[in-house]
Amino acid sequence: MEAGQGFGRHGHRDMEIITYVLDGALQHQDSMGNTSIIRPGDVQRMSAGTGVAHSEFNASKTDPLHLLQIWIFPNTKGLKPEYEEKHFYLHQKQGQLTLVASGDERDNVVKIHQDVKLYVAVLKKGDHINHNLNSDRSFWLQVAKGSLTINGQTVNIGDGVAITQEEQINLIGNSDETEFLLFDLA
């Protein structure tokens, strides 16, 4: 999002909306009375439920904003709208998968109304993660920064990888800084 640009007040309903800022700062305001600035390391969750209106703008008048916004259908329609955000420090994500959002009741993650787990990780060149998967579930890996190798295949910024019927993934950072999201889906 270019400096000073954004989206004026608009509505959503029956959607779990997760915002993950990579660079810059996002100014958020909604009809539930929430006003905040979301920065790198922050994970914001808005459950639109029966309906919510919000606006979101690049908080800077000079610097661009780079973010990912994920929309997930909730497991129940007509929920009361909710808002939540949590900060995850770089050391929590460096060289490891860190759970940041989940449908399970867990401490220190944002709660989403769906059977989904969202992990993030930041890898330096040569960093290595092996992660066991439940082959009965599906997975999506989204590369947000840099480049990595997953099970021998190189993927780059902007690439997404669908993973099914696998028992393990082997991840190796190829860049000075690689950041990615891993979705564990029912």
Q: Among residues 93, 168, 164, 103, which one has the least CA distance to residue 130?
A: 168
Looking at residue 130, what is its pLDDT?
96
HSE (side-chain half, CA atoms, 13 Å) at 175: 15
Tens digit of each residue's pLDDT, the chain (186 residues): 898 888 988 899 999 999 999 999 999 999 999 999 999 999 999 999 999 999 999 999 999 999 999 999 999 999 999 999 999 988 899 999 999 999 987 778 999 999 999 999 999 999 999 999 998 999 999 999 999 999 999 999 999 999 998 899 999 999 999 999 999 998
pTM of the model: 0.93
CA 44 and chain centroid, separation = 8
Which has the closest alpha carbon to 145: 122, 127, 129? 122
Domains of the chain: 6-87 (2.60.120.10), 90-185 (2.60.120.10)
- The pLDDT, as a whole number, for residue 159 is 97
The DSSP call for residue 81 is P
